Structure 1
Amino acid sequence: MILPEPLQNGDTIGVIAPASPPDIKRLLTAIPFFESIGLRVKLGKHIDCVHGYLAGTDEERLADFHEMIGDEAIKAIICARGGYGTGRLLDSINYDLIARNPKIIWGYSDITFLHTAIRNKTGLVTFHGPMLSSDVADSKFDNLSASMFQQLFYPTELYYTEAISNLDVLVEGKATGQIVGGNLSLIVNTLGTEYEIDTEHNILLIEDIDEVPYRVDAMLNQLKQAGKLDQVAGIVIGDFANSEPKKLPSLTLYDVFLDYFGCLTCPVMSGFKIGHCFPHFAIPLGVHATINTYKKNLLISPGVANT
């Protein structure tokens, strides 16, 4: 496990779009937020490129990522948005370059594929958190979501309780392990690849958007059949936005979760505001965490180094 160095006042962050094209107008309106917390912003050279449903060609998006990784003046990389396309870059990423220049990498949704690949290849801790054009620029971007960026400036132990949202216990228990995962669709996409997620003795985070119950059922079934639920230490169920069934009759999302997780012997808890939601509770991935259903809380270790 490699912890990136924390940010300092006046540092420069790089903004890239490794997946779908961001709304440039919205992206620009998000920049003052980062300036307000003491950061400078540098946009990737190809941030405004469009190649169909991608934010530029694979070569352009990869070039921006590698340039930001290799630039010593860039202390963190914040993704502009998710969508689709990050997985197309993984075979061409220079992971040795990342290992030589470990720095903060922040995003979620389609960026889940990048988080998992980087952790597998380098051991670098990365961050699952709100992005510029899709979140920071949104009128619903709230104080709690904004405060989550403070964990990048100094080692911060995160503590999630029902003071943030109601939590539902599916399986009682307490467990500690590295917290991994992110977007469920992207987690499933890693299966059978060299970037396949490792859930053994780890706490698995899942969240998603626009996935109705039968689609979530199919993805959890694939995870189960791939053995990813066999030795998982615990499961944190984040936000599943817009998941209401479009056709009836249907199982509810809770029914689906109970089908796959109710028989497990590890703690499982849902209701976390992690994902495509506000507030958006941002967390580091790859650090140790403890889930405790008896006290209904989640404790997560700091994601940056103690310098």
Structure 2
Amino acid sequence: MIKPRALQEDDRVAVIAPAGPADEEKLKQGIVVLENMGLKVIIGRHVLDVEDRLAVDDEKRLADLHEAFFDPTIHGIFCATGGFGTARIAPMIDYARINRNPKIFWGYSDITYLLNAIQKYSDLVTFHGPMVATDLNDEVRSAETESSFSSLFTGEPMTYNSYKSPLIPIAHGTGEGRLVGGNLELLTKGLGTPFQINTKGAILLIEEVAAPSFLINAMLTHLKQAGVLDEVKGVVIGELQADAEESKKIELVLEDFFACASYPVVRGFHIGHCQPNYGVPLGTNAKLTTAPPQLLIESGVK
């Protein structure tokens, strides 16, 4: 698995919108945050274009992605926001050329489809992390969310334990493997396609937003029956954003589904549709333990 080079001060980075359209004011606020990190931000040509509910048509969204990857002066690509539609451009991506031009690619939610596609066909580590307009705007941004970008500069491994937020064990044990995953709905939608996630020998990370308990149960069942959980070494459950009543129901679903798992399973990881939202590399080695509950993740940059 190829690791992109670490960021340095004064590096040029691109902001693109492969899924839904970004809010212009929130995008500007997020860009200031990246600039305060010492980065020089280039905005994709079509980031603020809107056609229907997608950012723009497939060819223009693909063009911004390709231009950012193929420009040798750009060293990182950050997605502005999520939404829907990335599955539509996945078959059109030039994965071989991305493999020859490795760099940081960062986002989550609907971007999950691209994180996994690029990882699978370009052999490149990708990053599940907070997005520029969605998570770095003045209204929601937290210091912890900002801090997760620091590993892109330092190359330090990540340790997630009770100092950040308690991880609650559902099934006990120790597991080691590649960290893979992302948004549960997008992982489910990829089943049976050329972009289906490979979880053999992996630690699976899942998160979701505002899905009711019955739908969480249905998606997990779908993954299980498709064999996705057959050879995992552990499962880390991130934010499954829901109101208090529905959250209790979801906890029961998770307990029922994973309590007898032969691999460690924890919930409570602050990743996905939440604040703080910690960024993590996908495709690097990770170790999950439940005594004590912690997740150790290898650096995603070199």
Which residue of 2 is the match for residue 159 of structure 1?
A: 159
In structure 2, distance between residues paired with 1:198 and 1:234: 14
| Contact kept? 2:239, 2:271, Cα under 8 Å | yes
SS for the counterpart of 2:164 is coil
Aligned positions of 1:154-303 closer than 5 A: 154-242=154-242, 252-303=249-300
Which residue of 2 is the match for residue 71 of structure 1?
A: 71
Deviations 1:174-233 (A, max 9, x none): 111000001000011110001100111100000010101001011001001101111110
Displacement after TM superposition at 1:254 (Å): 1.2
Aligned positions of 1:5-20 closer than 5 A: 5-20=5-20
In structure 1, distance between residues paired with 2:267 and 2:205: 10
SS for the counterpart of 1:216 is helix
C-alpha change, 1:45 and 1:299, in structure 2 (3 Å) is: same
Deviations 1:104-156 (A, max 9, x none): 00000111000111111021001111011111014231111101111111211
The count of aligned residue pairs is 302
In structure 2, distance between residues paired with 1:77 and 1:94: 16
In structure 2, distance between residues paired with 1:210 and 1:297: 26
Deviations 1:71-128 (A, max 9, x none): 0111100000001011110010000111010000000011100011111102100111
Does residue 52 (structure 1) correspond to residue 52 (structure 2)? The answer is yes
TM-score (norm 1): 0.96
Displacement after TM superposition at 1:12 (Å): 0.6
| Contact kept? 1:81, 1:132, Cα under 8 Å | yes
- Identity across matched positions, percent: 44
- Unaligned ranges ≥5, structure 2: none
Letter in 1 for 2:281: P
**Following TM superposition, where does structure 1 have runs of at least 4 consecutive aligned residues deviating by more than 3 angstroms?**
243-246
| Contact kept? 2:3, 2:125, Cα under 8 Å | yes
C-alpha change, 1:233 and 1:51, in structure 2 (3 Å) is: same
Displacement after TM superposition at 1:262 (Å): 1.6
In structure 2, distance between residues paired with 1:268 and 1:87: 28
In structure 2, distance between residues paired with 1:123 and 1:243: 38
In structure 1, distance between residues paired with 2:218 and 2:91: 27
In structure 2, distance between residues paired with 1:37 and 1:47: 21
| Contact kept? 2:83, 2:110, Cα under 8 Å | yes
| Contact kept? 1:211, 1:243, Cα under 8 Å | no
SS for the counterpart of 2:149 is helix
Which residue of 2 is the match for residue 136 of structure 1?
A: 136
In structure 2, distance between residues paired with 1:187 and 1:159: 25
Displacement after TM superposition at 1:244 (Å): 5.3
The CA RMSD over aligned residues, in Å, is: 1.3
SS for the counterpart of 1:53 is coil
Deviations 1:244-291 (A, max 9, x none): 567xxx971111112221221000011110111111111000000000
Letter in 2 for 1:175: G
| Contact kept? 1:167, 1:270, Cα under 8 Å | yes
In structure 1, distance between residues paired with 2:245 and 2:276: 24
| Contact kept? 1:243, 1:253, Cα under 8 Å | no
- Unaligned ranges ≥5, structure 1: none
Letter in 2 for 1:257: L
Letter in 2 for 1:126: T
In structure 1, distance between residues paired with 2:243 and 2:248: 11
Letter in 2 for 1:299: L
TM-score (norm 2): 0.97
| Contact kept? 2:107, 2:128, Cα under 8 Å | yes
SS for the counterpart of 1:169 is strand
Does residue 92 (structure 1) correspond to residue 92 (structure 2)? The answer is yes
Displacement after TM superposition at 1:302 (Å): 0.4
Letter in 2 for 1:293: T
